[in-house]
Chain A
Amino acid sequence: DTGVSQNPRHKITKRGQNVTFRCDPISEHNRLYWYRQTLGQGPEFLTYFQNEAQLEKSRLLSDRFSAERPKGSFSTLEIQRTEQGDSAMYLCASSPRDYSDTQYFGPGTRLTVL
């Protein structure tokens, strides 16, 4: 068990560019969550998957954001036409089965939009 991994760890991009982040959950964890965290704030929920199905999206997830989890394994989070307000830490977490299980977080991807 190597834990949740995220790549890249850091991403600097120019406004208007598209970026994609990857999350590899703990093996055999059915649930995968994405959160966003800005400086001085706690993480905010964006979306989650139960296996390959995306079951909930936060209102924070605008049309420029899309997430996928093909085959119920790794997940990607894409942001199109990035804005400076998208600068944040993007965290991924996974849990074994359902909502009552502990969520294990990855180290995050820090996005800076210039």
Chain B
Amino acid sequence: LAKTTQPISMDSYEGQEVNITCSHNNIATNDYITWYQQFPSQGPRFIIQGYKTKVTNEVASLFIPADRKSSTLSLPRVSLSDTAVYYCLVGDEEGGSQGNLIFGKGTKLSVKP
């Protein structure tokens, strides 16, 4: 199974750029890297997905090195409302798992004023 490792928690201040790095040493050739955000008492929300190099959308950027053994989610100029848990996931196609997401414990980001 492709597992991920990410910091348990991070602190930041409003207006700063936040980078959360995730390790996934056993990522499979066909796996994509996906990040979700979750607020308390809500379901996870898709942020961004990538396969290699860099992906950017209106919310975040995702940097993936050539070996794809890690990835970095970059949140520009965070605000208090970005306080949430961020999950890094890789697709798991082994054992017949057809797309069920394997979540770790995530990174709890706390943004302070």
Chain A residues with a Cβ under 8 A of chain B = 4, 31, 33, 35, 40-45, 48, 50, 55-56, 58, 89, 91-93, 95, 98-108, 110
Q: Which one, A41, A48, A108, contacts B100 given CB within 8 A?
A: A48
Interface size class of B (residues with CB under 8 A): 20 to 34
The docked-state distance in angstroms from the alpha carbon of A97 to that of B106 is 26
CB distance from A104 to the nearest CB of B (A): 7
In the complex, what residues of A have CB within 8 A of residue B42's CB? 107-108
Which of B14-22, B66-74, B91-99 contacts the other chain?
B91-99
Q: Name B24-51 residues within 8 Å CB distance of A.
A: 32, 34, 41-46, 49
Candidates A31, A99, A107; contact of B91 at CB < 8 Å = A99
Which B residues lie at the A interface, using CB under 8 A? 32, 34, 41-46, 49, 85, 87, 91, 93, 96-106
Interface centre among B45, B96, B99 (most CB of A within 10 A): B99
20 contacts between A and B (CB under 8 A): A33-B100, A42-B106, A45-B97, A48-B100, A55-B98, A56-B96, A56-B97, A56-B98, A58-B100, A91-B43, A93-B43, A95-B99, A98-B98, A99-B93, A100-B91, A100-B99, A101-B99, A103-B101, A104-B46, A107-B42
A38 to chain B, nearest CB (A): 11
* CB-defined contacts of A107 to chain B, threshold 8 Å: 41-43
A45 and B49 contacting across the interface, CB-CB below 8 Å: no
Instruction: Apart from A43-B103, A105-B43, list 13 A-B contacts with CB within 8 A.
Output: A33-B100, A33-B101, A35-B101, A44-B103, A45-B97, A45-B102, A48-B98, A55-B98, A56-B96, A89-B41, A93-B43, A105-B44, A106-B43
